[in-house]
Amino acid sequence: MRRRLAALAVCAAVIFAAACSGDALPAPPPPPPMHPMPGASGAGDPYYPDDGNGGYDALGYQVDATYDPPSGHLDGDTTVTAKATQDLSRFDLDLRGLDVHSVEVDGKPAKFTREKAFELVVTPPSPIRAGTTFRTRVRYGGDPAKTSHGGGSENGWQHSADGGAFMVGEPHSAAFWYPVNETPRDKATFTLTAHVPAGWTVISNGREGPPGTWTEPNPVASYLTTIAIGKFSVDRSTLPDGTPVVSAYAPGAEARRATGSRLPEVLGFLSGKFGPYPQSAAGGIYLDEDIHFSLETQTRPTYAKWAELATLVHESAHQWFGDSVSLKDWSDICLNECFASYAQWLWAEREGQNLDDRYRAAIDITRGSTDFWSQKLVGMGQGHEFEGVYNKGILALHALRREIGDPAFNRLLHDWPSRFRHGNATWADFETMATQVSGRNLHEFFDVWFRGTKLPADADLFPGSLRS
């Protein structure tokens, strides 16, 4: 009896390792061998081949920034959570200027070097297996306003009139103040915790937490993240569905509340055209700065001092076209700007304007302008992205509307943001959807209007009701 109980005890002790018969269970297979390689130092956009990086998918940024307005000094502590898409021996982040003090990968010190204009090259203590989620912590600092920038819509870190600072720019923005995979192809969540002296206010993307803390839970393209530090007056409210609205007005911009207060009305109108508002929050950052552009920073656009109601409509439309549905390549910028610009016409139509009359008047003015019609709206070439999309792009979309009719056009405006919500899309995707929705072959029309460099023939220039 004792001998039998002992045998049973032995069987119970090894039940998960071997059967009582003595046959061993098969050992789990060893992990496949790794073949670590460096991640690419660019994401593949032909216009900006050095932008972004390969080998991983950024999932989220946690940015901790301490900024001293009098000295202009910033100390940053950013953690990038990412998933390896290959076996990685090393990988890059984008960071412009600023001195890097230390880098850790999953809590262990990592080697790092700076290469080219803005590559931060990180070598982890051991290779990272494909499919692994890893965290990279970078501590850094300096005066971001001293980092050179390209001008135009690349604004760099700027000091504001009240002694604070703000950061807006396109296509380059985020890498001026935190390490990032700076490409719209790799969207990620974003959290900012900012520390500033008493009397200063920090405004950023998404939902407001404790003072200086902002969280955007929806994926965001990095150039659409922002920070503004100033002596702001802040208004807080909610949309009818409970979405929080935070609008901040810099000293000298307080009178813009008359414009900012119309945001719920504008978003309600656009939701009727494009579908439900896709963002986690709403509002605006109203600067008293004479920069030559406003920018659709996600959830909370940043407005120059000259911005008025039409600009509010434009930047609000971007929350669907450009922010929620983001481009993959900068050659497809018409997906952002043509539609946001046409939203201004839709608003004017709401106010009683006859868009066909407005269109014909614009054709009369531009008919003899070779420069106007030579601007491509798709595949325009690096450096020419923002030349035709704000004016010729409006005419092209109105012509498309008349070509396919209002029912199909309205469905297109609604279905596009729904189909690619919080993702990326291409101009080819849009042409495919337009063809499917309209049930027509539109290849020649798109060639003439969006890839063409000449005044369209009358059949394409005056389609549908525009012929009468």
Distance, CA of 324 to CA of 279 (rounded, Å):
7
What are the domain boundaries of the chain? Answer: 51-317, 326-467
* Dihedral pair phi/psi, residue 431, rounded to 5°: -60, -40
What's residue 59's pLDDT?
Answer: 98
| Chain centroid to CA 150 | 19
The superfamily in CATH containing domain 326-467 is: Neutral Protease Domain 2 (1.10.390.10)
What's residue 403's pLDDT?
Answer: 98
What's residue 150's pLDDT?
Answer: 83
Q: pTM here?
A: 0.92
The one-character DSSP state at 98 is S
* Strand positions, DSSP E, 310-361: 326-327
What's residue 52's pLDDT?
Answer: 97
Residue 359's contacts (CB-CB under 8 Å, 6 or more residues apart) are: 395, 398, 399, 466
What's residue 28's pLDDT?
Answer: 85
Distance, CA of 371 to CA of 387 (rounded, Å):
10
Distance, CA of 5 to CA of 118 (rounded, Å):
71
| Chain centroid to CA 164 | 24
Handedness of CA 208, 210, 216, 217 (dihedral sign): negative
Q: Which residues of the chain have pLDDT under 70?
A: 1-24
What's residue 27's pLDDT?
Answer: 84
What's residue 328's pLDDT?
Answer: 97
Distance, CA of 362 to CA of 305 (rounded, Å):
27
What's residue 16's pLDDT?
Answer: 38
Distance, CA of 338 to CA of 346 (rounded, Å):
12
The residue among 31, 78, 65 whose CA lies nearest residue 213 is 65
What's residue 23's pLDDT?
Answer: 60
The superfamily in CATH containing domain 51-317 is: tricorn interacting facor f3 domain (2.60.40.1730)
> Is-contact 253 304, C-beta < 8 A?
no
